[in-house]
Amino acid sequence: MKSMTSDGKSKLGRLFVLDLSGGRVLSLNPDGSDRKIIVTECRHPDGVAVDVEAGHIYWTNMGVPDLNDGSIERADLDGRNRTMVVTEGGTFTPKQLHLDKKNCKLYWSDREGMRVMRSNLDGSKIETLVETGQGDADRQDVLKYCVGITVDAERGQFYWTQKGPGNAGQGRIFRANIEIPKGQSAARRSDIEMLFDGLPEPIDLQLDLNNRMMYWTDRGDPPRGNTVNRAPMDGEPEKRRPPEILTTHLMEGIGLALDLKGERMFFTDLGGSIYSAKLTGLDKKELLYMQGNLAGIAYAELAPQR
């Protein structure tokens, strides 16, 4: 089913993908054709989000992980008018990025910063919502590292992953309210709920709000790692079923994007491949391969150019 513009024309799906090793932002059709390089010389880009109405693409730059020099940039969808939104050092090592259009906010997880953060779309009013540690001593504990992030704006909640040590089976997924409870702080808040633990290495998160399902990539070892997974967002912890593994054999899965109208998903791995599959995991296709070390991916439906 194709989406339509107000004048009856079909909208065009487009993927935006980050090449971590090459420092590039790529754009391509959902079948892998018409690949274009739209931005270069990024500083280890990792998370990406698209604002279709404003015609903007946002991405995080991890920088050098031990130098506290992360940043967030924005450009037009064709790569022009590149702008620094969060300047270098405004965040430590920003990872996945989420655009909350309803509240005009950017959310991101800060790995070595050990926190979940947000700002206005122009980078003003930077806030820390979750803080799992402070300083170099805490930074030695990778259990404190926040990686994935997504938001349920209608219910006023956000979700994030803490992947833990490599292949240790200590990865976790959490949920909290988008506002810190009154009288509490990012480091001490009572509304944090752990939804899953014992995961290999959960990375990027996405939500299907209509069906109340969350999807995520996992870059840990097989059989549960190097996968795309899903699980219900709700329900009592003791009654939750184990996550459903939708697809396997990724080369360290990272980025994930859902096309809910088209009932399909797109995902990337550090091996340099871009894949598509149905939301059930069936009909998996490798769209492109050997594209560098790929990280974040976003899907957007754009109006046709006049």
Q: What CATH number has the domain bearing residue 232? A: 2.120.10.30
Is residue 42 a part of any domain in this protein? yes
Six-digit token pair at 292?
């560098």
Residue located via tokens 């998370």 = 47
- pLDDT given at position 1: 45
Say if strands 193-199 and 202-208 run parallel, antiparallel, or are unpaired: unpaired
Is residue 3 a part of any domain in this protein? no
The answer to whether residues 61 and 25 touch, using CB atoms and an 8 Å cutoff, is: no
Domain region containing 106:
12-302
Is residue 5 a part of any domain in this protein? no
- Assign 221 to helix, strand or coil: coil
- Assign 143 to helix, strand or coil: helix
Is residue 184 a part of any domain in this protein? yes
Q: What does pTM read for this prediction?
A: 0.94
Residue 266 CA to residue 278 CA, distance in Å, equals: 9
From first to last of its 306 residues, the chain has per-residue pLDDT tens of 455 554 555 789 999 999 999 999 999 999 999 999 999 999 999 999 999 999 999 999 999 988 999 999 999 999 999 999 999 999 999 999 999 999 999 999 999 999 999 999 999 999 999 999 999 999 999 999 999 999 999 999 999 999 998 878 999 999 999 999 999 999 999 999 999 999 999 999 999 999 999 999 999 989 999 999 999 999 877 777 889 999 999 999 999 999 999 999 999 999 999 999 999 999 999 999 999 999 999 999 998 765
Cα-Cα-Cα-Cα torsion 142, 144, 146, 150, nearest 10 degrees, comes to 140
Six-digit token pair at 36?
């274009």
Is residue 1 a part of any domain in this protein? no
- CB count within 10 Å of CB 167 equals 14
- Assign 239 to helix, strand or coil: helix
- pLDDT given at position 145: 97
DSSP string of 273-304, one letter each residue? -EEEEETTS-S-EEEE---SSEEEEEEEEEPP
Residue located via tokens 């280890």 = 44
Six-digit token pair at 70?
């992360």
The answer to whether residues 170 and 143 touch, using CB atoms and an 8 Å cutoff, is: yes
Is residue 128 a part of any domain in this protein? yes
The answer to whether residues 35 and 62 touch, using CB atoms and an 8 Å cutoff, is: no
The structural domain count of the chain equals 1
- pLDDT given at position 2: 54
E runs forming strands in 147-260:
149-152, 157-162, 171-177, 193-199, 202-208, 213-218, 227-232, 244-247, 253-259
- Assign 216 to helix, strand or coil: strand
Residue 32 CA to residue 49 CA, distance in Å, equals: 19
Is residue 7 a part of any domain in this protein? no
